[in-house]
Amino acid sequence: MTTTAPAPQVYGGDEVATLVIDTGSSYTRVGYAGEDTPKLVVSTECGLMADEDVEMEDDTSNTTKKLNKYKVGDSANLPLPNMEVLHPLTDGIVADWDAVQNIWEYSLARLNADTKTHPLMLTEPCWNTQANKLKALEIAFESLEVPASYLVKDAVASAFAAGKGNALVLDVGSEVASVTPVIDGLVLYKPARRSQYAGDYLDRQIKKVLVSRGIDLTPRFEIKNKKAVEMGEPPVFTKRELPNVTHSFTDLQVSRILSEFKDSMCQVNDVPLTPEISGEAADRVFEFPTGYSTTFGADRLSTSESLFKPSEYPFDGETVPDTARGLSEMVVDTINASNVDVRAHLANNIVITGGGSLVQGLSDRVSKDVTQALSGLKVRVAAASNQEERRHGAWIGGSVLGSLGSFHQLWVSKQEWQEKGGDYLVEKKRFK
């Protein structure tokens, strides 16, 4: 290999910053490449107004109609009448492109970014479909009119961000937990695993416990006023009268309480919980929006344990499939399903990322479980201690790649898109 001459024309250079968008199930991160954290983190769960409301506001063009119809960012958190909350991603990949396009447009407008001049880097999970890649590029080139674009695999970005070309990436997101082997910067698809036993699932487990304890989960927006009460005393509050607030909106607001509980209360025991081992968790106080506060001890451990043994924590009226795997089991399965030559590399370079992995004690438990299951292999877990780095790991990876002058040779230009067509690019070339 010899020194390569600079590309005849590279996009971006140093003057024009690259835009990076990472679209996750619950949050979308948007910002400029080269920066440490995204400029903007907006909820991917956005509001959709019922049609009749739109017609009143809409007297100009189609675009205003579209923008008015969707409520993105702060306005999606307002209890607007008849606003349904959408979950545009299913199984970690985009299912509702209309909504996602609106989120992108909203965020880029907030950044005051003229997309015609900035290359756009997008992240994607490794199980993304060809049709979805095509659609993402189509929006980038046709609607946003970016000069160049690139899709980067989030697992690869996370591995690189940890300084590893060879790694086993355990990404615990809100909707999906995935385990992806990366060897020399390339994803090994066959042994990769994923499951739904991730952040949102843990939220539901928490809800199950709270409801069984008879706790009122009235979200903040519904509360008009409340009185301070002693710990353990029943709450004293009055509700606001809000007409036509949808169930999906209330559900989203309740899930915010659950997430807060998850972040501040949940803890993974260092060894598996069994009837004999109940673990020890100090009591901690949690205050609900109603003003009610109480202590939690064992529940803090048992809720989190469900991520490791989903089969033992079924929901009422639901059966857990035999194929259900906890986080550690998935890691072990993936290593065992990988080629013998790379197993040692993978076990020695487990990278844990994703907001869901921030549950206290989670990475230590994975490390212990895997060490025990794979005797003979040296297990080593790397997890960023910085919370932001874990929550936005894939975005940060995209940010660094996008800021490299050298990386610009890999961009797909608008011209290439127009000349060769999306099918060619997605199927034959870069984004396969």
Q: Does 245 bind other proteins (CB under 8 A)?
A: no
Nearer to other proteins, 43 or 349 (CB): 349
**CB-count exposure of residue 276 (10 Å: 0-12, 13-18, 19+):** exposed
Nearer to other proteins, 114 or 341 (CB): 341
With CB under 8 A as the contact rule, the residue among 236, 415, 423, 427 that binds other proteins is: 415
Distance (Å, whole) CA 162 – CA 351: 7
DSSP string, 8-51: SS-SSTTTSPPEEEEE-SSEEEEEETT-SS-SEEEES-EEEE-H
Shortest distance in whole angstroms from residue 123 CB to other proteins: 14
Applying CB under 8 A, the span of 197-205, 281-289, 322-330, 405-413 interacting with other proteins comes to: 405-413
SS3 call for 252: helix
Distance (Å, whole) CA 290 – CA 65: 37
Nearer to other proteins, 83 or 396 (CB): 396
Shortest distance in whole angstroms from residue 385 CB to other proteins: 9
Q: Does 430 bind other proteins (CB under 8 A)?
A: yes
Q: Does 3 bind other proteins (CB under 8 A)?
A: yes
The count of C-alpha atoms lying within 13 angstroms of the C-alpha of 86, restricted to the half-sphere facing its C-beta, is 22
With CB under 8 A as the contact rule, the residue among 13, 26, 36, 197 that binds other proteins is: 36
Shortest distance in whole angstroms from residue 386 CB to other proteins: 9
With CB under 8 A as the contact rule, the residue among 408, 422, 425, 426 that binds other proteins is: 408
Is beta strand 46-49 parallel, antiparallel or unpaired with respect to 19-23?
unpaired
- Site for other proteins, residues 384 to 403, rule: CB under 8 A: 389, 396-397, 400-401, 403
Q: Does 5 bind other proteins (CB under 8 A)?
A: yes
Shortest distance in whole angstroms from residue 9 CB to other proteins: 6
Q: Does 63 bind other proteins (CB under 8 A)?
A: no
**CB-count exposure of residue 135 (10 Å: 0-12, 13-18, 19+):** middle
> Closest by alpha carbon to 70, among 46, 42, 90?
46
Tokens encoding 170: 């355990």
Nearer to other proteins, 99 or 140 (CB): 140
Classify the C-alpha dihedral 43-44-50-51 as positive or negative: positive
With CB under 8 A as the contact rule, the residue among 41, 42, 144, 148 that binds other proteins is: 148
Q: How far, CA to CA in Å, does 142 sit from each of 70, 150, 256?
A: 21, 14, 35
Shortest distance in whole angstroms from residue 7 CB to other proteins: 4
Contacts with other proteins, 104-143, as mask; x by CB under 8 A? ----------------------------------------
Cβ-based neighbour number of residue 35 at 10 Å: 15
Tokens 């619950």 belong to 26
- Site for other proteins, residues 163 to 192, rule: CB under 8 A: 163-166, 184-185
Tokens encoding 34: 């080269």
With CB under 8 A as the contact rule, the residue among 16, 373, 377, 410 that binds other proteins is: 410
H helix or E strand, kind and range, residue 199: helix 199-212
- Site for other proteins, residues 249 to 288, rule: CB under 8 A: none
Tokens encoding 225: 């006023």
Applying CB under 8 A, the span of 104-112, 206-214, 258-266, 411-419 interacting with other proteins comes to: 411-419
Classify the C-alpha dihedral 347-350-356-360 as positive or negative: positive
- Site for other proteins, residues 310 to 369, rule: CB under 8 A: 345, 348-349
Under the rule (CB under 8 A), what is the footprint of other proteins?
1-9, 11, 36, 148, 156, 159-166, 184-185, 345, 348-349, 382, 389, 396-397, 400-401, 403-411, 413, 415-416, 430
